[in-house]
Amino acid sequence: MSIPAEHRRIAADEVRLPPHALPDGRSGRILHEAIRLFAEYGFHGTSIRDLAEACGIRSATLYAHYPAKEHVLAELVRIGHEVHHSALSAALPGTPPGSAARLAALVRAHVLVFARYPLLAMVANNELHAVSRELAAPSLLLRADAQQMILDTVNLGMDNGAFDVPDPYLALTAIAGMGMRVAHWYGAASHYDPETIADTYATFALRLVGVEA
Amino acid sequence: MSIPAEHRRIAADEVRLPPHALPDGRSGRILHEAIRLFAEYGFHGTSIRDLAEACGIRSATLYAHYPAKEHVLAELVRIGHEVHHSALSAALPGTPPGSAARLAALVRAHVLVFARYPLLAMVANNELHAVSRELAAPSLLLRADAQQMILDTVNLGMDNGAFDVPDPYLALTAIAGMGMRVAHWYGAASHYDPETIADTYATFALRLVGVEA
DNA sequence: GTCTATATGGGGATAGAC
DNA sequence: GTCTATCCCCATATAGAC
């Protein structure tokens, strides 16, 4: 990767994924290489020939696995959003609604996705606009639901006196936004462990909503 | 704009700019339309014909004003980074280094740029990777310097006891990151004033570094 | 500066043999 | 499933008249 780090839109360059996130065989290999290329150059900045070459096959062969270039992206967007939504859903049980513990668990889960799987998260979040409306719809639902989990938590914490924020929606944008940006810088300069980042950001989120932490 | 809001990568759709940020005449008009198109579809997702049509001219005419498509983007990236850097620089005088007042002023300035000029900020920050190394270099210096202003403030505030954070660099990434994301959602749903967002985010930043606010 | 016309290459995608 | 060969269109960019 001869591009200077600060000129790239993502600092990480190794594709990391949850176990079994991609299918085995050629279809999975295509998705794997597409994550790398789409994260680095964007969907429109990557040609079908670039992708084929990275996979060690001819471009025509891609069409035996996916009906169009767009479907490769759509699949990555779907996987990325499912990974994220699952992570947040899994953070709910065992934490009381509207509590500091719940907010911390949600933020930890949120940040861990962006720190552990930065390339996948980048593609899912920054290239979604290049997918057609129909193919993007399921991911948009998952995204809205994930956002609502955090907003509900902030709102309920306000109602029950656990939190104190000037504006719950702005707290949501700030908390969600700082986590999303981790995908861009993770892997640069200092080598932080994803767990460390997640814990620290959870602390930041609690402070942000007025909880001593 | 028939694209559903949540499917777009940017919620705002009106190009807003600081006074005199763009030249007068056709060159300026080209930059103006390029901001809109590059913000919405990305550099590689916008053709030279799309851009010409938006300007009401033929594609060949663009080359009387810019030597190549890339130079149009490079100019926007440069302008965007200069606007941002100027805003942060202007926040320094009158605030003591390493103080809560300085951090608040820097965060206010940072967030205001992304809230007031979301399309320009989006292009400058999300499409920089599509500009050649030579053309991108000056912007990268401005960006590094702006980041250092915030990091110095956090570090000095730690040294002098004004702040208390688990990790200054992570505080920087969190504070800078939440501000940058404003460009994506500003203009959606709730109608916040940029000043309100900036003030609220400044409060969040102070809380984040352990200052009662 | 702007146009029409066009050069030239690369893009996504398909046909058909193996 | 994979290949070679190819279609066809659209991309950036240029030539040259007005």
DSSP classification of residue B11: S
CB A204 within 8 A of CB A111: no
Joined together, the tokens standing for residue A157 give 């914490």
Residues A208, B210: C-beta atoms closer than 8 Å: no
Joined together, the tokens standing for residue A144 give 């809205």
pLDDT tens digits for A117-137? Answer: 999 999 999 999 999 999 999
pLDDT tens digits for A73-114? Answer: 999 999 999 999 999 999 999 999 999 999 999 999 999 999
CB A7 within 8 A of CB B133: yes
Q: Please report the pLDDT score of residue A1 as a whole number.
A: 53
Residues B8, A41: C-beta atoms closer than 8 Å: no
Q: Please report the pLDDT score of residue A21 as a whole number.
A: 98
- The alpha carbon of residue A30 and the mean position of all alpha carbons in its chain are separated, in whole angstroms, by 20
Neighbours of A90 (CB within 10 A): 11
Query: For strand C, is any atom closer than 7 Å to the CB of A147?
Result: no
Chain A residues touching residue B182 (CB < 8 angstroms): 173, 177
Q: Please report the pLDDT score of residue A191 as a whole number.
A: 85
pLDDT tens digits for A171-211? Answer: 999 999 999 999 999 998 678 999 999 999 999 999 999 99
* Superfamily the domain A5-208 falls into: Tetracycline Repressor, domain 2 (1.10.357.10)
- The alpha carbon of residue B132 and the mean position of all alpha carbons in its chain are separated, in whole angstroms, by 19
Cα–Cα separations (whole angstroms), residue B187 to A142, A175, B118: 22, 18, 9
DSSP classification of residue B13: -
Q: Where are the domains of chain A?
A: 5-208
Q: Is the pLDDT of residue A213 over 80?
A: no
* Superfamily the domain B69-208 falls into: Tetracycline Repressor, domain 2 (1.10.357.10)
Yes or no: is domain B10-62 CATH 3.30.2010.10? Answer: no
Q: Please report the pLDDT score of residue B188 as a whole number.
A: 80
**Burial of B53 from C-beta contacts in 10 A (0-12 / 13-18 / 19+):** middle
Q: How far is it, in rounded angstroms, from Cα B100 to Cα B96?
A: 9
Report mean pLDDT in 10-residue bins for chain B, 213 residues: 87 97 98 98 98 98 98 98 98 97 99 98 98 97 98 98 98 98 90 96 98 85
Measured between CB atoms, which of B7, B43, B176 is closest to A136?
B7
Joined together, the tokens standing for residue A122 give 């980048």
pLDDT tens digits for A39-68? Answer: 999 999 999 999 999 999 999 999 999 999
Query: For strand C, is any atom closer than 7 Å to the CB of B58?
Result: yes
Q: How far is it, in rounded angstroms, from Cα A63 to Cα B120?
A: 38
